[in-house]
Amino acid sequence: MTPNQLSARAAALAIAGKRLSSVELIEACLARIAKREPTLQAWAFLHRDLALKQARARDAEAPSGPLHGVPVGVKDIIDTADMPTEHGSPMYKGHRPVIDAACVALVRRAGGIILGKTVTTEFASSPPAKTRNPINPNHTPGGSSSGSAAAVADFQIPIGFGTQTAGSVVRPAAYCGLVGFKPSYGTYAVSGMKLLAHGVDTLGTLTRNVDDTLLMWEVLHAGPAGAARLRERPRIGLCHTPFWSEAQKPAVEAFEAASRRLAGTGFEIEVLEMPSWFETLREDHRVIAEYESARNTAFECAPERFHLHSPTMQAARERGWKLSPERYAAARAAQLRAQQEYAALTANFDALMMPSAPGEAPEGLATTGDPVFNRLTSLLHVPAICLTVMKGPHGLPVGVQFVGAVGNDRAVLELARRAEACFA
């Protein structure tokens, strides 16, 4: 195993134990990037010299935190004081923030090294970016956290930051065979992260195993993970969601396979149906996202800059400006009602299991895929974590997501750790 293939936890322990140097780890990651970047195009900016300089400094000092000497990739809508933050838009070409985003500062506080900025779609929205799927470059890696997902899945870095408005952490994780975790809304600090829709936007992480997701939980809370509250036999609600008809055959097979494995390894399984009216929440999510996005990008939407948006983005912003405050308020009221009903519906479960995406990553780069199974969890503000279950007919990953109650993130993470062992 080469150093770049180590998990973040294993790499940090090896560096602390002097069995591996941070320089060796960074050099292995950079070598992998040099080999694969022409094909995958996962990076918006790399600072090789600075990363190696910081690695040498880490090697010369005692371990300073749980990420000591370990590289992390940062989605390019998250501010970094020593690197550009361009938001996937020509409007911000060469833009240099003055300070780090909170999550970046916490990584540095934990001893981590920011290797560079990973590709994002334009303002973390829907137009596809240049990044390709590392398993099959003819397929999308998902969006909008495409660069982080591809880089982590390709062993270029062990951890990448993503953000989710609709499905931009869970869906790329599903398409690239990763663990993608979106915590409860507001759990991770988002200062310094460019908000698209402040009512749903959430910072998340992309890793290759649940243990590294827990490691980042410690880093982003700047403290121990704490104990998880789980039943002796964790109770999982099998939830097709109101959108089950849009699940393709591989997603259905993965869902059924996951159900069988969990039932055979000590999990208590019960089918759970959501209220039929939840189907309308897809439209409410769109209203909230487009209304808020138009106003959050009022500066970028000024006449002298509007032409720098892609045609897709221009159309979305125009739709957002046309939405009335009354329609937005109605969507927010539906969101609140759904959150209350969901809390009551799921009170006796440790988590629900849902599809993480309609199927395998779509072929071609004209789309980042459909977030139909993710919009709901973003709107509900609940924690969601994606795990791979199997490969589909094209050899691409297919997974499920475990979704918990607001604030019950640690229990969901612990349940995911146990489920990961079943699926492996």
pLDDT digits (tens, 9 = 90+) for 112-139: 999 999 999 999 998 899 999 999 999 9
pLDDT at 227 over 80: no
What residue spans of 73-177 are helical by DSSP H? 102-109, 146-153, 170-176
pLDDT in the model for residue 228: 80
Catalytic residue among 144, 146, 259, 293: 144
Q: Is 398 helix (H, G, I), strand (E, B) or coil?
A: strand
How many CA atoms within 13 Å lie on the side-chain side of 30?
20
pLDDT at 354 over 80: yes
Which tens digit of pLDDT belongs to each residue from 242-282?
Answer: 999 999 999 999 999 999 999 999 999 999 999 999 999 99
Interhelix angle for 281-296 vs 325-345, to 10°? 130
pLDDT in the model for residue 48: 97
d(CA 5, CA 10): 10
218 C-beta neighbours (distance < 10 Å), count: 16
Q: Residue 382 — very low, low, confident or very high, per pLDDT cuts 50/70/90?
A: very high
pLDDT at 363 over 90: yes
pLDDT in the model for residue 421: 96
pLDDT at 407 over 80: yes
Query: Is 64 annotated in the active site?
Result: no
Q: Residue 232 — very low, low, confident or very high, per pLDDT cuts 50/70/90?
A: confident
Which tens digit of pLDDT belongs to each residue from 174-217?
Answer: 999 999 999 999 999 999 999 999 999 999 999 999 999 999 99
Q: Residue 230 — very low, low, confident or very high, per pLDDT cuts 50/70/90?
A: confident
pLDDT in the model for residue 159: 98
Q: Report the share of the chain in percent with pLDDT over 70.
A: 100
d(CA 102, CA 173): 23
Which tens digit of pLDDT belongs to each residue from 36-95?
Answer: 999 999 999 999 999 999 999 999 999 989 999 999 999 999 999 999 999 999 999 999
pLDDT in the model for residue 226: 78
pLDDT at 317 over 80: yes
How many CA atoms within 13 Å lie on the side-chain side of 309?
23
Where do the structural domains in the chain lie, given as residue ranges?
A: 3-163+211-221, 279-331
Architecture of domain 3-163+211-221: Alpha-Beta Complex (3.90)
pLDDT in the model for residue 340: 98
pLDDT at 225 over 90: no
What residue spans of 154-310 are helical by DSSP H? 170-176, 210-221, 249-263, 281-296, 303-306
Query: Is 378 annotated in the active site?
Result: no
99 C-beta neighbours (distance < 10 Å), count: 12
pLDDT in the model for residue 424: 87
The answer to whether the pTM exceeds 0.95 is yes
Q: Is 333 helix (H, G, I), strand (E, B) or coil?
A: helix
pLDDT in the model for residue 198: 97
d(CA 163, CA 188): 11
Mean confidence (pLDDT) of the chain: 97
For the beta sheet containing 113-118, the strands, ordered from the edge strand earlier in sequence to the opposite edge, are 43-46, 113-118, 71-75, 159-164, 202-207, 179-182, 384-391, 397-403, 351-355, 235-238, 268-271
User: What's at 108, amino acid-wise?
Assistant: R
Catalytic residue among 125, 126, 168, 184: 168
